[in-house]
Structure 1
């Protein structure tokens, strides 16, 4: 386990999240997150191919993802409100606004995808 992993694990145990003071550390974490996600994506694709035999089989996963993203969007709305109330830099606020808007748009698209699965319920298509 790396030193950062140990520090993050200890912080998580107390419900804390670590903040990084420079873009190098943030970029390293973003790269690590991306590598982990893309590694898992190969397995997800294989499982989904076997599991999602028709349109209705896709629906539970889409609904689960929508719920998680909606929770995250609402969390980020709170972060944005706090940033505004504390007078954080306008660039930070603008980026958070973009993220919140995009997250809400994504929940709408996922809801549409979930609804679309019902149109093909039982058809095998």
Structure 2
């Protein structure tokens, strides 16, 4: 399926609150690769804009605060997924990976909070 068609299908599904699940690892790997390539393609632009705009620590602060908020919200969502996986007795490997992701997410939220604090000094 072409990326354009998949994007349109996913946009339509998202409008109704649906998300697509992929049943085989080849499709998942392809999606992860595409996701990574897209983000890295945009990263150079972000670096150029950040260099231009972030002239001191206070200019960095609002962006880091925003990112921390999104990370924390996503980690709490992951915690809900973890609880559901445990309650349903899903695969131990899935539960283990979710636990690792939740722990890492909390650590990232703490690091970002520390980063925000340094912008105020």
Q: Same fold (TM over 0.5)?
A: yes
Pairwise mapping of residues 32-47 of structure 1 onto structure 2 (< 5 A)? 32-47=34-49
The corresponding residue for 1:73 is 75
1:96, 1:115 → 2: CA distance? 29
Which structure has more relative contact order (CA 8 Å, sep 6+)? It is 1
Q: Please state whether the residue corresponding to 1:75 is helix, strand or coil.
A: helix
SS at 2:113 equivalent:
helix
Task: Find the counterpart in structure 1 of residue 31 from structure 2.
Answer: 29
Deviations 1:88-122 (A, max 9, x none): 01000000000000000000000000001111xxx
The answer to whether 1:8 aligns with 2:10 is yes
User: How far 1:55 moved relative to its partner?
Assistant: 1.1
Shift, 1:64, TM fit: 0.3
Match among 100, 103, 113 for residue 101 of structure 1: 103
CA-atom RMSD in angstroms: 1.0
Alignment gaps of 5+ in structure 1 = 120-125
Alignment partners' CA distance in 2, 1:102 and 1:45: 24
